[in-house]
Structure 1
Amino acid sequence: MEDIYFQNHAVTITYNPDMQLGTAIWRGFLSSDEFREAILKCLELIENRPVVRWLGDNRDMKVIRPIDQVWFVDTVLPRLHHSALRRNAVLHSKDFFNKAAVEQIYRRTEGRGDLITKDFDSKALALAWLKEDIQLEA
């Protein structure tokens, strides 16, 4: 069962304890303050609950400002790499600039820690991958 952890006009963050899955469903363009508040709420969930899987639904999210991309890489990625998170599925944004920004951010995670990030066009395929046994990768 999924519980709403945080919600505002731009994001809904949920947690499914049975799957140890956090989900962020993004909508529209976020100011820097809104983006950072939402990302910090995601981190709070990841760091305070047993979250090993994450689904970032970016399909309706707009561009992320360059300064927020730098903040994410410098501030958020190190915390993600020290968390229990092991799988991160990303549903591509319809917005070309968001898609390019997210790809660039996650390219920086390759080879760092145990976190595996994969992009998907289908929510069903993303969830199927997230449900696979993580121990097989160890």
Structure 2
Amino acid sequence: MESLHYLQLETDRLHRMIVLHWQDFVPSEVYREGLLEAIQVSRKEHLLSWVMDMKHMKVIRQADQEWTLSTWFPQFQLLGVKRLAFVVSDDIFNQMAVSSMVAALRPKFHAEVEYFQESTTALRWAQENTGGLSDFSLFSVK
């Protein structure tokens, strides 16, 4: 499947987290399907933290930015995500696109949003969400 080159979805059930590893110049179809699939997985697994690892991703098309704001974000809001971490791209045009989208959405965000240079620090921060397995009172793993 060609989309695996552009996006890998990874879930961490222990920390109730999903990680989207993006790379290269992502075709619109892959970008949109990937974000919608992440919403489905997040909803099904009750994931509370998202990490958007965009370190190796190139620019996001204007049409995809508009789609993200108008179509994807309202669905994302319904998930109840507590933390959204962005690993900043090396590509300045991607940085500008992400900054622009987050600035437009910032007043509507219910989640904490942070930017990171490295995925390890983003993952660590996202794992600190207040959900975790403590929500399940019968079997708590520490």
TM-score, normalization: structure 2?
Answer: 0.84
Matched, 1:124 2:120: yes
Q: 2: CA distance between counterparts of 1:65 and 1:109?
A: 18
Matched, 1:67 2:87: no
Give the aligned residue type for 2:119. Answer: K
Q: 2:41 aligns with which of 28, 31, 45?
A: 45
Deviations 1:44-92 (A, max 9, x none): 1122211100111100001110001000000011111111211011000
In structure 2, list runs of 5 or more residues that go unmatched: 132-142
Cα deviation, residue 26, structure 1: 0.5
Deviations 1:83-117 (A, max 9, x none): 12110110000111011101111112223242121
Q: Report what 2:82 is aligned to.
A: 86
Judge which range, 107-116 or 30-39, deviates more. Answer: 107-116
Matched, 1:26 2:9: no
In terms of fraction of residues, the more strand-rich structure is: 1
Q: 1: CA distance between counterparts of 2:24 and 2:109?
A: 31
Partner of 1:134, secondary structure, is coil
* Structure with greater contact order relative to length (CA < 8 Å, sep ≥ 6): 2
Using the aligned pairs only, state the percent identity. 25
TM-score, normalization: structure 1?
Answer: 0.86
In terms of fraction of residues, the more helix-rich structure is: 2
Q: Runs of 4+ in structure 1 displaced over 6 angstroms?
A: none
Corresponding residue pairs, total = 129
Structure 1 or 2, whichever has the larger Rg, is 2
In structure 1, list runs of 5 or more residues that go unmatched: 1-6
Q: 2: CA distance between counterparts of 1:133 and 1:14?
A: 17
